[in-house]
């Protein structure tokens, strides 16, 4: 059984209350918080995502799955630990060298959060292998980071397959999260590839009944 992490990136201001309540009622497993700084990716969602996360903290016990698409990871960690996320995931491509990756892993753990590393579609899956023993989740982007509503890039499924084989062969206990373009048409291929946490934004938020679509994606 996979878990569903609903991206609230495209939730409109003013609709966050009813949408978050409805997603909780629809039994999403996580809220996926897409933090963008306008530098690592063109969009800036920083303040909006902080506001939405603070609101979720007040009304829900569901875990926050924070996806940092930022250049200054350390500052974003300092800001977002305030909403007590379950996990903070940063991009490998935002780090200048391996030492910085290890420093950030340690820093996030020191802030009592689980740690994830995300990789963009064009980043080789092997580039993340050496860090896997120290983290809780690898987020494989199945679209280019930066916005919702994009089409899943099929080639990224090969990376998920390779990652799944690698962690099984090396007995590494880690979650594989797939993120971007996941809907009823693509979900089976993503599951077959080996992801066990699926992020979906558009497909869920455009549905009439969140529980129906979340159950469909999860089964």
Q: Catalytic residue numbers?
A: 34, 179
- Residues in 28-87 at the binding interface with ligand DX5, rule: CB under 6 A: 32, 34, 67, 69
Q: CA gyration radius for the chain?
A: 16
Smallest distance, Å, CB 159 to ligand DX5?
16
φ and ψ at 68, to 5 degrees? -85, 115
Looking at the Cβ atoms of 194 and 201, the one nearer to ligand DX5 is: 201
Compute the C-alpha angle 167/181/2, nearest 5°. Answer: 45
Length of the chain: 219
Which of 201, 207, 213, 217 binds ligand DX5 (CB under 6 A)? It is 201
Give the binding-site size for ligand DX5 (rule: CB under 6 A). Answer: 22
Looking at the Cβ atoms of 144 and 168, the one nearer to ligand DX5 is: 144
Smallest distance, Å, CB 27 to ligand DX5?
18
CA distances from 44 to 49, 52, 91, 105 (A): 10, 14, 16, 24
Task: Report the half-sphere exposure of 104 (CA within 13 A, side-chain side).
Answer: 29
Quote the distance between the C-alpha of residue 22 and its chain's center: 20
Looking at the Cβ atoms of 27 and 98, the one nearer to ligand DX5 is: 27
Which of 67, 136, 159, 191 binds Zn ion (CB under 5 A)? It is 67
Binding window for ligand DX5 (CB under 6 A); candidates: 74-82, 100-108, 180-188, 209-217: 180-188
Smallest distance, Å, CB 11 to ligand DX5?
11
**Which residue's CB atom is positioned nearest to ligand DX5?**
201
- Residues in 198-217 at the binding interface with Zn ion, rule: CB under 5 A: none
Which of 181, 186, 197, 214 binds ligand DX5 (CB under 6 A)? It is 181
Binding mask 20-39 for Zn ion (x = CB under 5 A): --------------x-----
Binding-site ranges for Zn ion (CB under 5 A): 34, 67, 179
Binding-site ranges for ligand DX5 (CB under 6 A): 7, 9, 32, 34, 67, 69, 143, 145-150, 179-182, 199-203
């Amino acid at each position: 059984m996979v878990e569903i992490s609903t991206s609230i990136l495209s939730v409109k201001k003013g609709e966050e209350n009813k949408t978050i309540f409805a997603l909780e009622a629809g039994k999403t497993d996580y809220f996926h918080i897409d933090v963008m700084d306008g530098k690592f990716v063109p969009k800036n969602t920083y303040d909006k995502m902080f506001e939405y996360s603070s609101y979720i903290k007040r009304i829900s016990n569901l875990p926050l799955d924070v996806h940092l698409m930022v250049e200054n990871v350390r500052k974003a960690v300092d800001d977002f630990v305030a909403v007590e996320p379950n996990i903070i995931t940063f991009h490998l491509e935002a780090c200048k060298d391996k030492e910085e990756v290890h420093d950030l892993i340690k820093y996030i753990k020191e802030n009592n959060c689980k740690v994830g590393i995300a990789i963009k579609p064009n980043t080789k899956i092997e580039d993340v292998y050496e860090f896997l023993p120290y983290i809780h989740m690898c987020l494989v982007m199945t679209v280019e980071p930066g916005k919702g509503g994009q089409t899943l890039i099929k080639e990224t499924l090969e990376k998920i397959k390779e990652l799944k084989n690698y962690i099984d062969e090396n007995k590494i206990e880690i979650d594989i999260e797939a993120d971007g373009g996941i809907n009823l048409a693509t979900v089976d291929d993503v599951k077959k590839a080996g992801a066990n946490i699926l992020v979906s934004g558009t497909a869920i938020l455009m549905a009439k009944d969140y529980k129906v679509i979340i159950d469909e994606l999860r089964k």
